[in-house]
Amino acid sequence: MKIENSENDIYNHLQDDAINQTQDNLDDQGQLEQNAQNTSWFARTCGTMKKGSLRQSIIALMCAAMGSGMLSFPSNPVQSGLINSIILMIICALLSRFSMHILMKCAFKNNQHSYAELVKFALGSKMQKFYSVDMICYTFGAIVCYQILFIQFLWQVLLVCGFDQSYQVQVRYIGGALFMILNFPISMMKDLYSLRYFTVVQIIIIAYILVIIIIYFFTEFSNLFDDSKIVYFDFNIQLTSTFASTFFGFICHQLIFPIRSELNRSSFRRMSKIFNRAIFSELIIYLTLMIFGYLTLFQQTPKIIIDGYVGNIEFTFAQAFFAFIMFFAVPINLNPSRFTILQLIDKENNWNAYVICTVVLQYSTGIIAMIYPNVKMKIENSENDIYNHLQDDAINQTQDNLDDQGQLEQNAQNTSWFARTCGTMKKGSLRQSIIALMCAAMGSGMLSFPSNPVQSGLINSIILMIICALLSRFSMHILMKCAFKNNQHSYAELVKFALGSKMQKFYSVDMICYTFGAIVCYQILFIQFLWQVLLVCGFDQSYQVQVRYIGGALFMILNFPISMMKDLYSLRYFTVVQIIIIAYILVIIIIYFFTEFSNLFDDSKIVYFDFNIQLTSTFASTFFGFICHQLIFPIRSELNRSSFRRMSKIFNRAIFSELIIYLTLMIFGYLTLFQQTPKIIIDGYVGNIEFTFAQAFFAFIMFFAVPINLNPSRFTILQLIDKENNWNAYVICTVVLQYSTGIIAMIYPNVKAIFGLLGGIFGMIMVIVLPCLIYIKLELKDGKKWSDFNIMFTFLIMIVAGISGFTGAIVSQIYS
């Protein structure tokens, strides 16, 4: 609630940003680049490249990492599951960023200007030779890959031109031999400066492939989309191979020292900017390619994604261009390998050694590529595989579109997957259920997410948010699995069936505490938003405490008649209005980032990691945003053709949508105000009329959110004391809930701490502890043993998440 000096804080923050940006834009003669003051951060990063500039260095580093290897990423979920592959990719990006950070830190500290020099300085000459051998092996393997891919892409083009499948082996060997003969003269060149643009051309072709895959997903495959075919998790030994092949896509460390030597005003801070932006850009591109590529072909995804679109002229052009690029990629990568070998044997200026080394590298890699073509050469049945895949999808989609009378909904055949998911809502439809579940989870709590990186770091906060989404999805999965298997139609019934009547009462008490805390939060937020609006209207700061108490008292008096209503059906649309206002806030935050703050952006102010005890409180408050399990059973009861598969569609899509919205809000909110980000993001834009409107609307919504949430809590209390039909008990219960929550909101106006308490204890019990206990108890009842992997895994999640949540709830109170 403390906003006394917020205007000064924001002003000082912007001033510091301006000073830092000015310092960073000094040219080599110490003069100010005037143009940098008038261009956006995006334009400065990705504009016209000059030698030694940040933008040229970022593109160069990305070109070194991004290549043909990324075309294999869409096949990762086939062997390891989609979520596992996403997590592994984020881990690889973080590891690559971490290693560049420590390399540059050591290099600047000890004034070393090459990787080999740094290895020799720190570890000795023997380790320097070991590094050289490792580099030779790495580039040798890369050259083999390029030759395999050349033959593979050439074969795909020849197939489209009418070649028979039976010639595949002949093409591999004859094409490989011709490749070595034609490529040898280029490989003999010492000066390959004229080929430097081929890596950029490769990036352009990859961008072209990425665009057409996305277009194909939304045009050719959207009508046949079936998310029941998605494998989210697959825990097997191939996880390690997925990690290894993914890590290959983030290896560009061999170029980090040359970039440093060319960089204008080279410093650790500027180098950090380069590799942070490069790796983040690579990660976004890789994730997009992997997700859309996999969601198009599912388990039929080939090892090289463009092999899966047989006969499509757009991909045939891409294969032809890639074959051309691979031809020149071999000499570009052979040159540093040859130079390192000649250095090791002390023959840099010996022509005979130069020729022999080139011949050995060129022909040994070519022979290996012909004998061991395991990037993926098997295309024998690809046309039949694709045809069968599309047929299966059509059958599954047809089955899912049957209406209640068993007739086919003809319209569904002519609309896209997006239209079917988010179109006009009908009661009991998938789209109505998805929106309802999202409305139950998304609320005012998400406005605190941009402050998470302040206490835990940006990357930590992103990882914690993904973990919370996965935990929420996992618990819904096991809840629905147990409910359908045992024919239970409410959460309370399921708890009673699995754990007994005492645990059912415990669940009821937990629900009461959870909704009680939510009501307190809503009243705090009402006063907070009201105060921000009054500030804009000219109220003096000194009246803050009086407004809190007087406003709180008026809220309780005015809200009481509405809370007394038994039928609140007319208020059902207020949750949807809340989502609309949140969408409005999200849009204006993004607009402000790119218009008001982009010129002052300074990524050295970003705290990526902050490992402290408050990580647990961040986890607890984040988890609050994914709690919507109280609505999963009512949605099931209303759903047309209710089945476990259809329910899985609902909570998978709802949680994924929430995750994207939360991450967008958190990242853009934090990158606007950095460490000055307030606990509620819209408090940080003092005096902006757009946010003042948002605060006024939110105060209005919070007023009606209290009776909406008070009703189920009151009903549960009356059930527990067996007084459902007693008017006196009804009135007393309403008075106690209304006024006790109001008094707490006035005395303890710390909404972030209460979010942590709700998410860490009461929400954790409802979402993790009870579902895990139910699943374990029912599985043991069916004859399974504790040694069963699923039981042990579920028990481990319950213990780790439960302890983390409870600790976070306590920590959030201590640091409040």
Q: What is the DSSP string of 133-152?
A: HHHHHHHHHHHHHHHHHHHH
Strand-pairing partners, residue 26, are 32
3-state SS assignment for residue 788: coil
Q: Are 719 and 511 in contact (CB under 8 A)?
A: no
3-state SS assignment for residue 32: strand
Q: Are 719 and 730 in contact (CB under 8 A)?
A: no
Give me the pLDDT at residue 295, please.
86
**Single-letter code of the amino acid located at 767:** V
CA 165 to chain centre: 41
Give me the pLDDT at residue 19, please.
44
Give me the pLDDT at residue 2, please.
40
Query: Which among 492, 543, 373 has a CA at the least distance from the CA of 766?
Result: 492
Strand-pairing partners, residue 408, are 402
* Spatial distance between the Cα atoms of 616 and 179, rounded to a whole number of angstroms: 57
Phi and psi angles of residue 687, each rounded to the nearest 5 degrees, phi first: 85, -5
Strand-pairing partners, residue 441, are none
Angstrom CA distances, 340 to 193, 354, 362, stand at 18, 11, 15
* Spatial distance between the Cα atoms of 219 and 469, rounded to a whole number of angstroms: 29
- Residue labelled with tokens 């592959």: 85
* Spatial distance between the Cα atoms of 594 and 589, rounded to a whole number of angstroms: 9
Contacts of 12 (CB under 8 A, 6+ apart): none
Residues of the chain with pLDDT under 70: 1-50, 191-200, 221-223, 311, 374-426, 567-576, 598, 816
Query: Which among 342, 573, 344 has a CA at the least distance from the CA of 436?
Result: 573
Contacts of 751 (CB under 8 A, 6+ apart): 448, 521, 524, 525, 528, 679, 680
* Spatial distance between the Cα atoms of 599 and 616, rounded to a whole number of angstroms: 34
CATH code of the domain made up of 51-375 = 1.20.1730.10
Helices (H), 300-350: 313-344
Strand-pairing partners, residue 32, are 26
Helices (H), 487-573: 491-499, 501-536, 544-563
The radius of gyration computed from the CA coordinates of the chain, to the nearest angstrom, equals: 30
* Spatial distance between the Cα atoms of 730 and 751, rounded to a whole number of angstroms: 28
Angstrom CA distances, 777 to 459, 574, 614, stand at 37, 39, 33
Q: Are 262 and 57 in contact (CB under 8 A)?
A: yes
* Spatial distance between the Cα atoms of 814 and 816, rounded to a whole number of angstroms: 6
Q: Are 252 and 278 in contact (CB under 8 A)?
A: yes
How many Cβ atoms from other residues are within 10 Å of residue 292's Cβ? 19
* Spatial distance between the Cα atoms of 585 and 695, rounded to a whole number of angstroms: 10
How close are the terminal C-alpha atoms of the chain, in Å?
A: 12
- Number of helical (H) and strand (E) elements in the chain, helices listed first: 33, 0
3-state SS assignment for residue 402: strand
CA 607 to chain centre: 18
* Spatial distance between the Cα atoms of 169 and 762, rounded to a whole number of angstroms: 64
Query: Which among 180, 178, 148 has a CA at the least distance from the CA of 69?
Result: 148
Largest CA distance in the chain: 103
* Spatial distance between the Cα atoms of 657 and 705, rounded to a whole number of angstroms: 22
Angstrom CA distances, 603 to 49, 55, 607, 711, stand at 20, 14, 9, 46
**Can you read off the two tokens belonging to residue 701?**
């919504």
Q: Are 552 and 746 in contact (CB under 8 A)?
A: yes
**Can you read off the two tokens belonging to residue 22?**
């000015």
Query: Which among 467, 446, 448, 513 has a CA at the least distance from the CA of 768?
Result: 467
Contacts of 251 (CB under 8 A, 6+ apart): 65, 96, 138
How many Cβ atoms from other residues are within 10 Å of residue 355's Cβ? 11
Q: Are 449 and 677 in contact (CB under 8 A)?
A: no
* Spatial distance between the Cα atoms of 713 and 711, rounded to a whole number of angstroms: 5
Q: Are 314 and 212 in contact (CB under 8 A)?
A: yes
Q: Are 296 and 75 in contact (CB under 8 A)?
A: no
Give me the pLDDT at residue 434, please.
85
In CATH, which of 1.10.10.10, 1.10.565.10, 1.20.1740.10, 3.10.20.90 is domain 430-601+618-814?
Answer: 1.20.1740.10
Helices (H), 76-123: 76-80, 82-110, 115-123
Q: What is the DSSP string of 211-250?
A: HHHHHHHHHTSGGG--GGG------STHHHHHHHHHHHTT
Q: Are 807 and 616 in contact (CB under 8 A)?
A: yes
**Single-letter code of the amino acid located at 175:** G
Q: Are 92 and 80 in contact (CB under 8 A)?
A: no
How many Cβ atoms from other residues are within 10 Å of residue 411's Cβ? 11
CA atoms within 13 A on the CB side of 466: 12
Q: Are 171 and 154 in contact (CB under 8 A)?
A: yes
pLDDT tens across 417-475, in order? 445 544 455 677 787 788 878 877 887 788 889 999 999 999 999 999 999 999 999 99
* Spatial distance between the Cα atoms of 171 and 375, rounded to a whole number of angstroms: 16
CA dihedral 197, 203, 208, 213 (to 10 degrees): 160
What residue segments make up the domains of the chain, in order of their start?
51-375, 430-601+618-814
Strand-pairing partners, residue 402, are 408
Query: Which among 635, 630, 569, 633 has a CA at the least distance from the CA of 432?
Result: 635
* Spatial distance between the Cα atoms of 243 and 610, rounded to a whole number of angstroms: 25
How many Cβ atoms from other residues are within 10 Å of residue 549's Cβ? 12
Angle at 776 between CA 773 and CA 781, to 5 degrees: 120
**Can you read off the two tokens belonging to residue 648?**
């899985």
